[in-house]
Amino acid sequence: MSFTPDNFTIWMEIPVSDLDKAIRFYNDVFKTDLGRVKDMGPNEFAMFPTKEQGGVAGHLYPGTPSQKGTGPTIHLACPDSLEATMERFAKAGGEVISDPIAIPAGRFAYGIDPDGNSVGMFAS
């Protein structure tokens, strides 16, 4: 029997070299409000919000990112159009490294955040 859960991804963590700078970047790009959490582990981190408590999300944490573009890619939902998100991504200091790519579920583009993390911007 094969393991097939409702959601295979349950959490994601993005390592960043400067938590304040990364919070500003992700807030600006994804039009969100990452909340700082100080009492849930050995380090302070910033959590991505979800509409409902218990939604699949993740956080930014002080850590050592992989070398530029060599780590896993985290795909994040665009708050509006893919093109507008790509524009904010570049303006905020990231590097957009692909044109939009169409797939049956929507469209996405690849980018590298200021810490070198690979980020997919996804719009359905």
In a domain? residue 90:
yes
CATH number at residue 60: 3.10.180.10
In a domain? residue 119:
yes
Give the pTM.
Answer: 0.93
In a domain? residue 1:
no
Per-position pLDDT tens, the chain of length 124: 899 988 888 999 999 999 999 999 999 999 999 989 988 778 899 999 999 887 889 999 999 999 998 999 999 999 999 999 999 999 999 999 999 999 999 999 999 999 999 999 999 9
In a domain? residue 109:
yes
CB contact at 8 A, 57 and 49: yes
In a domain? residue 65:
yes
| Measured torsion, CA atoms of residues 91, 95, 101, 107, in degrees rounded to the nearest 10 | -50
Q: How many structural domains is the chain composed of?
A: 1
In a domain? residue 4:
no
**Rounded distance between C-alpha atoms, residue 58 and residue 81, angstroms:** 22
- Phi and psi angles of residue 56, each rounded to the nearest 5 degrees, phi first: -75, 125
Domain that holds residue 47: 12-123
Q: What pLDDT was estimated at residue 1?
A: 82
- Nearest one of 76, 58, 79 to 113, comparing CA atoms: 76
In a domain? residue 18:
yes
In a domain? residue 112:
yes
